[in-house]
Amino acid sequence: PLSTTGVLSSSSSTSTRSRNRTRYRTKALSSEVDESLFGGVKALAQSDSPVVLLRDKHAIRHTLSTLGLEHKPETIQLITRDLVRELIIPTKDPSGESLIMSPEEFERIKWASQVLTAEELEAREQNFKKEKEAIVLGYRAQGGPPTIQTGLLQDAVTTRKKMMKQKEMIWRNNKKLNDLEEEAKERAQSLLQRASKLRMEQEEELKDMSKLILNAKCHAIRDAQILEKQQIQKELDAEEKRLDQMMEVERQKSIQRQEEIDKRRREERIRGRRHIVEQMERNQEERSLLAEQREQEKEQMLEYMDRLHEEDLRDLEQRQQQKLKMQAEIKRINDENQRQKAQLLAQERLADQMVMEFTKKKMAREAEFEAEQERIRREKEMEITRLRAMQEKAQDFQAEQDALRAKRNQEVADREWRRKEKENAQKKIETEAKLRKTRLEQVAFKEHTLAVQVQRDRDEFERILRAQREQIERERLEEERRATGRLQHANELRCQVRENQQKQVQDRMATFEEGRRLREEAQKRRERIDDIKKQKLEELRATGLPEKYCVEVERKANIQPVTSVS
């Protein structure tokens, strides 16, 4: 987003141009925009005055608060199935991307942004010629000297040439974009592409596609999580077995090393002196204490592992109970759906039975009506036969008149019969239409009921599916937390084992160094004593004492030869 980093300096000419440009009209079929305008400087909406640069962020904040244009973060409205959220687009410090330009640069960009058509250029030339002629005519009317008129005209021509040169220079400067303008153009293109992408994402097909993709991803992630969970469990079991084996091997090695150390100490105790023996005994007692302490720590660690295993078993049992409860809930919902479907089927059967009864009654009424019509027809035929017989028997004019009257009566009766037949047919059609309408209404009601039930089942299924997904997600997070805890605990155990091993090695090295130092000190002390004895013996021999006395002294003094201690 572009940030406003300038204040406005108003002027009358600029305000006039702003009012003249409020109404949009086509300037040219193609246009070019100086992209440096989009580098962070954005003119305020109140005016089109040039930008005056600010020096620090405090001035920017003060100016924005004064003009009532405090910065508001841009947001994107994200609409999902269950909620609507407003997401704030991350922005940087506006002062960090501000574009600083001079008034001349701003005027250059502003001038270059105006694209004139051929008609406007021609009109501008005509206006310039008219102004020049008006100046010349004005001076002629005032009676000024020709030299003054020529000088003024020359000044006008010079000014016009300077203006044209300046326009040409501005056009040349705007012909090629600099790096800043290229960067601003690329930024604007990226913003347009991003806006287009976001707009396309709001299409229903893309939303559906995203949902399908999300659903597919959810299933894939679930399968991967199950496999990962099984793999992690296998790795944890293998790691526990390996740690147990390592601990057992380390224990056997410790026992073996302890036995070897004890054996060496017994040998050294036999060969050493009394103070060495006492020191070894003290070391043996300390090692015994350390061994007991290690055994106690091992027992505590085993108890702790047993407690963790029991807690895992309890958690597993709780999850099994929750799954059983959820299955019972699903079974209850399915039973309720089956019961509702059975009720709907019963209602449909009852409606079909009522339709069948109505149809039977209608058929019975139609049969009775047809029987009645047949009886009337037979009576009419008998009457016609009788009248014909009477007509055949009658020979006089009165008989003929009676026959005519009977014929007219018959025609009237026929017309009445046809009218009744038409009315009955119309009633039959209306009854059938009512029956069809009733049947269609029943079918529509049945379809509506089934649609409502299907929607309820779908909503219930989605609710159960969401609950299962949430439960699975909670179980996954809990399992990850436990796996992390177990891994951390295993790492701590490994660190403790390594620290104990290093401590044991350091203790053994310290003990060995202490024994070696004591042996060296004892050896050096013995060597010094032997040297002194030998020196004294030499001095004794130097006095000229007989050798046998010297030998006896040497024997009693028990002078040992010099030996090195490894």
Domain ranges of the chain: 6-202, 272-557
Check if the beta carbon of residue 65 is closer than 8 Å to that of residue 31: no
- Beta partners for residue 555, in sequence order: none
- H/E segment holding residue 156: helix 146-175
Q: Which CA distances in Å does 136 have to 130, 158, 161, 299?
A: 10, 15, 18, 118
In this structure, are residues 44 and 2 in contact, taking their beta carbons and an 8 Å threshold? no
Distance of alpha carbon 484 from alpha carbon 491, whole angstroms = 10
Nearest to residue 471, comparing CAs of 314, 321, 317, 323? Answer: 323
- Separation CA 130–CA 125 (nearest Å): 9
3-class state of residue 28 by DSSP = coil
Q: Which strand (E) or helix (H) includes residue 51?
A: strand 51-53
How confident is the model at residue 504, as a pLDDT? 85
Backbone angles phi, psi at 334, to 5 degrees: -65, -40
- Nearest by Cα to 515 from 275, 340, 256, 191: 275
Predicted pLDDT of residue 324: 83
Predicted local confidence at residue 42, as pLDDT: 42
pLDDT tens track, the chain, 566 positions: 333 333 333 334 444 444 444 454 555 555 555 555 554 444 433 344 434 444 444 454 555 555 454 556 778 877 777 777 777 776 665 555 566 677 777 887 777 777 677 787 788 788 878 877 777 676 566 554 444 455 566 777 778 788 887 777 777 666 666 677 678 778 888 888 888 667 666 666 556 555 656 655 566 677 778 888 888 888 888 888 888 888 888 888 888 888 888 888 777 767 767 776 677 778 888 888 888 888 888 888 788 778 877 887 888 888 888 878 877 888 888 788 788 778 878 877 787 778 788 778 878 888 888 888 888 888 878 878 777 776 666 556 666 677 677 778 888 888 888 888 888 888 888 888 888 888 888 888 888 888 888 888 888 888 888 888 888 888 889 888 888 888 888 888 888 888 888 888 888 888 888 888 888 888 877 777 777 777 777 776 787 766 766 677 677 666 554 343 33
What residue has token string 């987003």?
1
- If residue 85 lies in a helix (H) or strand (E), which one and from where to where? strand 84-88
For residue 402 the two structure tokens come to 């009676």
**Can you give the C-alpha Rg of the chain in angstroms?**
58
Q: What six digits make up the tokens of 386?
A: 């009788």
Cα–Cα distance measured from residue 281 to residue 287, given in angstroms and rounded to the nearest whole number = 10
Question: Quick one: pLDDT at residue 149?
Answer: 52
At 54 the pLDDT is: 40
Cα–Cα–Cα angle for 273, 275, 278, nearest 5°?
Answer: 110
CA distance 164 to 158: 10
**Rounded Cα gap, residues 395 and 525, in angstroms:** 187
Contact 74, 89 (CB under 8 A): yes
DSSP symbol at 7: E
DSSP 217-245: HHHHHHHHHHHHHHHHHHHHHHHHHHHHH
Euclidean distance between CA atoms 34 and 477, whole angstroms: 54
Cα 356 to its chain centre, rounded Å, is 59
**Cα–Cα nearest to 255, from 504, 510, 491, 495:** 504
Q: What is the pLDDT of residue 166?
A: 79
**What's the pLDDT score for residue 2?**
37
Q: What angle do CA 492, 495, 497 make, to 5 degrees?
A: 110
- Residue 415: predicted pLDDT: 83
Dmax over Cα atoms in the chain, in whole Å?
A: 216
CA distances from 112 to 68, 99, 435 (A): 31, 18, 81
User: What is the rounded CA–CA span in Å between residue 276 and residue 280?
Assistant: 6
